């Protein structure tokens, strides 16, 4: 269910060429997992969290460059539907 006022997408505008593109909320503000406490599990649990965070960061990085000029300089604001 969508709550009015909360953005589902963000619009990024390249500061170099002015091109605008939309990104999903998860890519605009990736929610990385924290590492579990050492006493709660083996090192394998830590490795799985690190791998999940790396995959999320890699997927979010695909939205971090302007599709027109490749610049990583942009301004971001909530997209209005």
User: What is the rounded CA–CA span in Å between residue 79 and residue 6?
Assistant: 10
What is the predicted pLDDT for the residue at 50?
Answer: 86
pLDDT tens digit sequence for 2-54: 566 677 899 999 999 999 999 999 888 876 677 666 655 556 678 888 888 88
Q: Where are the domains of the chain?
A: 9-78
**CB contact at 8 A, 69 and 14:** yes
What is the predicted pLDDT for the residue at 43?
Answer: 61
pTM of the complete model? 0.64
pLDDT band at 58 (very low <50, low <70, confident <90, very high): confident
Beta bridge partner(s), residue 28: none
Q: Where are the alpha helices (DSSP H) in 1-81?
A: 25-28, 43-61
> Closest Cα to residue 46, out of 58, 60, 32, 34?
34
């Amino acid at each position: 269910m969508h709550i009015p006022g909360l953005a589902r997408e963000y619009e990024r505008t390249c500061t170099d060429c002015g091109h605008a593109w939309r990104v999903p909320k998860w890519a605009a503000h990736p929610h990385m997992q924290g590492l579990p406490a050492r006493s709660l599990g083996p090192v394998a649990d830590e490795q799985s969290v690190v791998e999940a965070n790396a995959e999320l960061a890699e997927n979010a990085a695909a939205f971090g460059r302007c599709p027109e000029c490749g610049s990583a300089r942009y301004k971001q604001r909530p997209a209005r539907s």
